[in-house]
Each structure stands twice: as structure tokens, then as C-alpha cells.
Amino acid sequence: MANYNIVIKPSALKELEEIPKKDRLRVAERIQKLGSEPRPQGCQKLSGQERYRVRQGVYRIIYSIEDQIRIVSIVKIAHRKVVYR
């Protein structure tokens, strides 16, 4: 399977920087893995949207996939309590 390019929105990058360092490293690794497998086991498609969600501990990574041009766009990274607001 070909690799996908990963694009992170500036707002999502800011959210990533606000996560504590030990969790930030795990979240960053999870994002990198999305480049090789954009629909890993455990990902869920969000209802009413063309976006997916993957869990990393208590954090959620919301992203969209554009298969034609092979891009994974990270839209939001947040704690599970506030991510869907």
C-alpha cells in the first residue's frame, strides 16, 4: 500500500503543542502511523461527516482522508471530554 502524505492544520498543531510531553510523543507517533495505514484497526467514521477518529490514550485525533490524492488531513487533536464540542 502506498504511503499517504500527512497535513496538519495549524489549529491542530497548536492543540498538539498544548498536550503534556509524554502524551504528545505518543500522539505524534500515532499520527505518523496514519501515513502508512489511514484506516487502522479501531478507527471509526464519524456520523454525518467525512471524517474519522482514532484514539490514543485519553486523546482523540480527528482526520479526513483524500484517497485520490493520498492525503490524510489532521483536523483536531483534543482530550476525549472536549473533542466533539
The CATH-assigned architecture of domain 5-79 is: 2-Layer Sandwich (3.30)
* Residue 72, all three cell numbers: 490524510
Predicted TM-score of the model (pTM): 0.92
| Res 1 pLDDT > 70 | no
Q: 77 φ, ψ to 5°?
A: -135, 120
- Condensed to tens digits (0 to 9), the pLDDT of residues 64-74 reads 999 999 999 99
Task: Provide, rounded to the nearest whole percent, the portion of the chain with pLDDT above 90.
Answer: 91
CA 35, CA 18: separation in Å to the nearest integer?
Answer: 23
CA 51, CA 27: separation in Å to the nearest integer?
Answer: 18
| pLDDT at residue 10 in the model | 97
User: Where along the chain do its domains lie?
Assistant: 5-79
| pLDDT at residue 2 in the model | 72
Average pLDDT over residues 38-55: 94
